[in-house]
Structure 1
């Protein structure tokens, strides 16, 4: 019997305002969902915090929410944050040691097993990250 077939897919999908409050809510709701699934909070909540903050800061378009999807298939937890600024592709940037921002994607790159960007229906893009949640 194939383990992936017998393992249920667990998922959460939300629409949030592209604001600092929406980004905080993304992290908090992800933490609660992971607790209910019996999964570790870190590094997933940190990745969600960074991707949601980027969506609220760089992907913000007035009147358009950002989407958060978190799901588990097998031993892989996948985080997807979709915003409506498909014209702006995220790239890790060099940062000054004394900078107060600009480390988000560097952290995501360090914490995730893999991450990337997938174009969506115009004007959307999805930034995703995957982590192994094997026991």
Structure 2
């Protein structure tokens, strides 16, 4: 005799991706689009938007190659994990670990902010000599 088990309901993975100009305007637009998309997905977005802002800014400042854009990707997985990816054109320029920064400096805090908000982050090679810097937020972290 075959027993029927309750149907498993799983949420599909949701994706959002956009290619933006590697300019300050493009970085600002990445932040605004991420905020809008996360709001549409009904997710708290403050921490995630801070991560997007830092990674997009780094892509524009340190990953820019004349004539090439950067890409923002958001992925909401079935388990509730949010993955943020920013791909830039400079695969040869890897981010440095988040070192302490003097209080009077106006830059150098980006990866410290990403480390503070994300559960984990890293860097992967991407096609065409590019790199993808990614960060993940788990559901427990997003709801703090």
The TM-score bracket by the shorter chain reads over 0.9
Question: Which residue among 19, 39, 42 is the counterpart of 2:43?
Answer: 39
| 1:18 and 2:9 matched | no
The 1:17/1:97 distance shift into structure 2, 3 A limit, reads same
| Map 1:45-64 → 2, pairs under 5 A | 45-64=49-68
* Secondary structure in 1 matching 2:46: coil
Q: Which residue of the partner structure matches residue 91 of structure 2?
A: 86
Task: Encode CA deviations 1:63-92: one digit per residue, 9 max, x unaligned.
Answer: 000000001002100000000100001012
Scaled by the length of structure 1, the TM-score of the pair is: 0.93
Scaled by the length of structure 2, the TM-score of the pair is: 0.87
The 1:2/1:129 distance shift into structure 2, 3 A limit, reads farther
* Secondary structure in 2 matching 1:70: strand
| 1:126 and 2:128 matched | no
C-alpha RMSD of matched pairs (Å): 1.3
Deviation at 1:121, TM superposition (A): 2.0
Of structures 1 and 2, the larger Rg is shown by: 2
Flag structure 1 segments of 5+ consecutive residues without an equivalent: none
Q: Which residue of the partner structure matches residue 75 of structure 1?
A: 80
Count of matched residue positions in the alignment of Structure 1 and Structure 2 = 133
CA contact (8 A) 1:39 1:133 kept: no
- Poorly superposed stretches of 4+, deviation over 4 Å: none
Mapped to 1, the partners of 2:93 and 2:70 lie a distance apart of 14
Flag structure 2 segments of 5+ consecutive residues without an equivalent: 1-6
Deviation at 1:9, TM superposition (A): 1.2
Q: Which residue of the partner structure matches residue 102 of structure 1?
A: 108
* Secondary structure in 1 matching 2:102: coil
